[in-house]
Amino acid sequence: MPNMCMTKLPMPEQDPKVRARNFEEVSYGYTEEMAIEEAQRCLNCKHMPCVSGCPVNVQIPKFISLIAQGKFADACSAIKETSALPAVCGRVCPQETQCEAKCVRGIKGEPVAIGRLERFAADWDMKNGKHEIEKPVSNGHKVAVIGAGPAGLTCAGDLAKKGYDVTIFEAFHKAGGVLVYGIPEFRLPKAIVQKEVEGLEKMGVKVMTNMVIGKVLSIDELVNDMGFEAVFVGSGAGLPMFMGIEGEDLVGVSSANEFLTRINLMKAYLDEYDTPIRKGKSVAVVGGGNVAMDAARSAMRLGAEHVYIIYRRSEAELPARKEEVHHAKEEGIEFVLQTNPVKILGDENGNVRAIECIKMELGEPDASGRRRPIPVEGSNYEIPVDTVIMSLGTSPNPLIRTTTKGLEANKHGCLIADENMATTREGVYAGGDAVTGAATVILAMGAGKTAAASIDEYIQNKK
Ligand code: FAD
Ligand code: SF4
């Protein structure tokens, strides 16, 4: 008999007052008993609507039914058939707009907690599973992967499984992409990403860090001098945007990317690291996406008394995951909605002292389908702050496309790739944020997977 409870079984979490001052993971995850209880809510639907909502086709009813039977290792193996990073996806995927949005249990009540169950299976396996990774037999072909984010890691993993000799070239000193430099420890512990990278290395993938392609080596050199037969570009979209308003050059203004990189990759939140970082007492974060929530919640954890999210539309349009908004509110982040900054004001020493904003009202929907924010004349006012963090989105860094002949990009600077992830240059494939602009982990992984299949076909047909 399925469990017909209308709501998801809650996942135990740290108390919001306590966690707002530490960087430990917010949620503890289900216990075995909890996972079985929640798994029993699944109806094992024959037509599997949930699977159609998953960009990498995880066989959801199969893995949930294995959890319900207490076969946790098998459940994780079932997820791994199509997803390379289950412990990551179980934590950060926007399930509410993907698999869970399609779950039939969501019609009258809450959907099955697919994400929480995925996280449970992956964590259980990491702790208890046997991890004997066999190095695949070499097929003698070399492929280069640029960027060690979810797109690059997935592409490298799939190619390595087929016997390719894969080298990942990563600009930073650590592999993981946004998973290590962007998403904070309290949402995604870095040890999890590290284990995934180690798994790839055991399969024979070489990870070369501090290698900025376009500076240290070019794609032409990789192909012409180093014998790589194909290249995958998964270099992400790490170039932050600013508003272009007065005062953005004041001391105390930074991009969310820089702020989060200092915290996550350079461990600025740990006393034993002397990474310079601005620990504001009153912080304005401009933007409403996941990155803005991460920056705001990190600023709170660094000791701020007030952290404001300043967003020009209403709560209904906030692009961040609902769970992140909920957690941010619980932790005391103040939402200043339908408000847009017009100027950042400084003191006599050039430090931020306030942000001047204007109120916005919402008009008719614009091209994005969201209601267009319109400034309300004469509604300007100041919010006293000492730190401003801009979280307005990012675009791909132009370095690779400007140093590679024949690699074309669109007007947003995103590399042009077809449905097989082939770029405009033969033998060069691309995917993830470098192609789509800032998107999601699961879409980047899906692109890495497609590219690996295309690269395999390209090299095998060339022989
Ligand atoms: P990235 O993860 O950006 O990885 C690209 C890698 O390429 C980086 O390591 C970079 O250093 C490297 N690189 C760049 N240029 C070069 C070069 N020239 N040479 C060598 N290496 C290079 N998505 C979700 O699904 N859920 C979330 O909750 C979520 N939260 C987010 C929070 C933050 C703070 C941020 C910034 C993003 C978040 N995202 C989230 C988005 C998600 O992380 C990205 O869509 C995803 O990481 C894209 O993967 P990628 O592999 O394409 O690029
Ligand atoms: Fe289970 Fe929901 Fe998928 Fe049906 S739609 S199989 S109930 S997770």
pTM of the model: 0.94
Residues lining ligand 2, Cβ inside 6 A: 42-45, 48-50, 60-61, 64, 103-105, 112, 114
Give the pLDDT confidence score for residue 132 in this predicted structure.
Answer: 77
Separation of alpha carbons 335 and 124, rounded Å: 36
Instruction: Please check whether residue 255 is in contact with residue 248, taking contact to mean a CB–CB distance below 8 angstroms.
Output: no
For residue 70, report the distance from its CA to the centre of ligand 1, in Å. Answer: 35
Task: With beta carbons less than 8 A apart as the criterion, state whether 363 and 385 touch.
Answer: no
Residue 75: which of 34, 31, 121, 120 has the closest Cα?
121
Say how many Å lie between the CA of residue 102 and the centre of ligand 2.
Answer: 8
Region at 178 (left for phi over 0; alpha for psi -120 to 50; beta for the rest): alpha
- Residue 220, SS3 per DSSP: helix
Give the pLDDT confidence score for residue 453 in this predicted structure: 97
The values of phi and psi at residue 305, to 5°, are -90, -35
Put residue 108 in one of left, alpha, beta given phi > 0 → left and psi -120 to 50 → alpha. Answer: beta
Paired tokens of 411: 């007007």
For residue 150, the ligand closest to its alpha carbon is 1
CA of 61, closest atom in ligand 2:
6
Digits of tens for pLDDT over the chain (463 positions)?
A: 789 999 999 999 999 999 999 999 999 999 999 999 999 999 999 999 999 999 999 999 999 999 999 999 999 999 999 888 999 999 999 999 999 999 999 999 999 999 999 999 999 999 998 877 788 999 999 999 999 999 999 999 999 999 999 999 999 999 999 999 999 999 999 999 999 899 899 999 999 999 999 999 999 999 999 999 999 999 999 999 999 999 999 999 999 999 999 999 998 888 888 888 999 999 999 999 999 999 999 999 999 999 999 999 999 999 999 999 999 999 999 999 999 999 999 999 999 999 999 999 999 988 888 889 999 999 999 999 999 999 999 999 999 999 999 999 999 999 999 999 999 999 999 999 999 999 999 999 999 999 999 999 999 998 6
C-alpha to C-alpha distances, 55 to 50, 228, 407, nearest whole angstrom:
11, 29, 27
**Measured in angstroms, how far is the CA atom of residue 433 from the centroid of ligand 2?**
30
What is the pLDDT, as a whole number, of residue 2?
87
Dihedral through CA 257, CA 261, CA 263, CA 267, nearest 10?
A: 180
Distance 49 CA to ligand 2 centre (A): 7
Which residues contact ligand 1 via a Cβ below 6 A? Answer: 92-94, 146-152, 169-172, 177-178, 182-183, 211-214, 234-236, 238, 260, 290-291, 294, 321, 397, 399-400, 432-434, 438-442, 444
Question: What confidence score (pLDDT) does residue 274 get?
Answer: 87
Parallel, antiparallel or unpaired: strands 306-310 and 428-430? unpaired
Q: Give the Å distance between the CA of 386 and the centre of ligand 1.
A: 29
Return d(Cα 443, Cα 446) in angstroms, integer: 5
Contact 244, 397 (CB under 8 A): no
Report the nearest atom of ligand 1 relative to the CA of 431. 52
Q: Hey, whose CA ends up nearest to atom 2 of ligand 2?
A: 103
Closest ligand 2 atom to the C-alpha of 43?
A: 7
The pLDDT of residue 93: 95
Helix/strand/coil percentages in the chain, nearest 5: 35, 20, 45
The predicted structure's pLDDT at residue 431? 98
430 in helix, strand or coil? strand
Name the one residue in this structure whose structure tokens are 């304005």.
Answer: 284
Testing ligand 1's pocket by substitution, the residue of 88, 97, 183 carrying the most ligand atoms inside 8 A of its CB is 183
* Among candidate residues 326, 271, 333, the one with its CA nearest the CA of residue 298: 333
User: Rounded to an integer, what distance in angstroms lies between the CA atom of residue 138 and that of residue 433?
Assistant: 30
Residue type, 5: C
**Ligand 1 atom closest to the CA of 178, numbered from 1:** 2
Q: Which ligand is nearest to the CA of 169?
A: 1
Residue 275 confidence (pLDDT): 87
Ligand 2 center–CA 105 separation, angstroms: 7
Residue environment code for 188-222, b if the CB has 16+ CB neighbours within 10 A, otherwise e: bbbebbeebbebbeebbbebeeebbbbeebbbeeb
